[in-house]
């Protein structure tokens, strides 16, 4: 009887051990902002358990500060996707302590807004797919992005004007891809407000450029854009750098592709494209 009890206890313990081994740590991808979370959710459906966006819906990602829980999530993530080049310093600091894979989509570029160039973003999506273990799963997304590029190329091919005025320098990659010139009121961060003299000089430059539209963004104040438009007699329109979408917009079904197409329509109208 004593021997039988020992054998039963051994089987029970072995069963517990097997159960523990069958429950591996969940594979979590942490994305620093919306377009990267969008890409990961599309290509990593079968290879990860969860995609977490550090920037809450409707929040300005340039201002992101990480809680201790966020830092822990970055540290423990299977993969972290972020834009370096000073775009979100808190994320870069947290990533520096990681040993597991991290993907800097800016890849050393001075302008981190690489997702606004559809062809460049297609390459990034493929890289994300390879990193999260879903190599080959990005085919549909890459196809959609190449079609988006074709629409932009055709839609912006014949325009009366080729200068766009933006609140901050977010559209440099898009402008370079399609032969446009960007005049930005601030630098890479929308928080970098110009001095009164700089604003005066910017108004003069905009007036001399012949533009008819000054663009605003959803997540930042339109006060300076309204001032430039008023001083130059231009209209105001919305152009979204897709740094983040509000929960209301997400619930309404908007996503990266739909916003990029809305941006194309806004550009065509502002630039007088045929």
The 10s digit of each residue's pLDDT in 191-215 is 667 888 989 999 999 999 999 999 9
Residue 157 CA, chain-centre distance (Å), reads 26
What's residue 266's pLDDT?
A: 98
What's residue 5's pLDDT?
A: 45
What's residue 135's pLDDT?
A: 65
Residue 15 has pLDDT above 70, yes or no: no
Backbone angles phi, psi at 137, to 5 degrees: -85, -5
All domains of the chain in start order, with CATH = 28-147 (3.40.50.1980), 158-271 (3.40.50.1980)
Residues 6+ apart with CB under 8 A from 38: 255, 256
Residue 93 has pLDDT above 60, yes or no: yes
Mean of the pLDDT values across residues 17-28? Answer: 64
Residues 82 and 250: their CA atoms lie apart, in Å, by 21
SS3 15: helix
Residues 112 and 103: their CA atoms lie apart, in Å, by 13
**Does an H or E element contain 121, and which?**
helix 118-131
Mean of the pLDDT values across residues 57-63? Answer: 92
Are 170 and 113 spatial neighbours (Cβ–Cβ below 8 Å)? yes
Are 229 and 203 spatial neighbours (Cβ–Cβ below 8 Å)? no
Residue 188 has pLDDT above 70, yes or no: no
What's residue 178's pLDDT?
A: 98
Residue 63 has pLDDT above 90, yes or no: no
Mean of the pLDDT values across residues 109-128? Answer: 96
Mean of the pLDDT values across residues 68-82? Answer: 96
> What pLDDT band is residue 95 in, cutting at 50, 70 and 90?
very high
Assigned token pair, 127: 């890289």
Q: How many CB atoms lie within 10 A of CB 38?
A: 21
What's residue 18's pLDDT?
A: 46
Pairing outcome for strands 28-31 and 50-53: parallel
């Amino acid at each position: 009887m004593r021997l039988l009890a020992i054998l039963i206890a051994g089987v029970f313990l072995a069963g517990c051990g097997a159960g523990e081994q069958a429950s591996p740590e969940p594979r979590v991808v942490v994305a620093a902002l919306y377009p990267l979370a969008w890409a990961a959710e599309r290509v990593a459906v079968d290879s990860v358990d969860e995609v977490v966006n550090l920037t809450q819906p409707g929040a300005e990602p340039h201002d992101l500060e990480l809680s201790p829980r966020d830092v822990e999530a970055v540290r423990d993530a299977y993969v972290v996707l972020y834009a370096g080049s000073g775009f979100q310093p808190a994320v870069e600091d947290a990533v520096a302590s990681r040993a597991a894979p991290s993907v800097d989509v800016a890849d050393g570029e001075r302008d981190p807004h690489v997702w606004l160039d559809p062809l460049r973003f297609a390459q990034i999506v493929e890289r994300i797919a390879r990193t999260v273990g879903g190599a080959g799963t990005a085919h549909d997304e890459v196809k959609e992005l190449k079609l988006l590029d074709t629409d932009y190329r055709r839609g912006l091919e014949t325009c009366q004007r080729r200068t766009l005025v933006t609140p901050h320098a977010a559209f440099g990659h898009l402008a370079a891809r399609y032969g446009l010139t960007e005049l930005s009121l601030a630098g890479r961060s929308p928080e970098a407000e110009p001095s009164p003299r700089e604003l005066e000089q910017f108004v003069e430059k905009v007036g001399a450029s012949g533009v008819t539209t000054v663009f605003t963004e959803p997540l930042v104040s339109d006060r300076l854009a309204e001032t430039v438009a008023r001083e130059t007699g231009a209209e105001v329109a919305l152009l979204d750098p897709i740094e983040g979408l509000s929960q209301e917009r997400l619930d309404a079904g908007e996503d990266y592709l739909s916003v990029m197409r809305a941006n194309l329509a806004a550009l065509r109208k502002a630039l007088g494209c045929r």
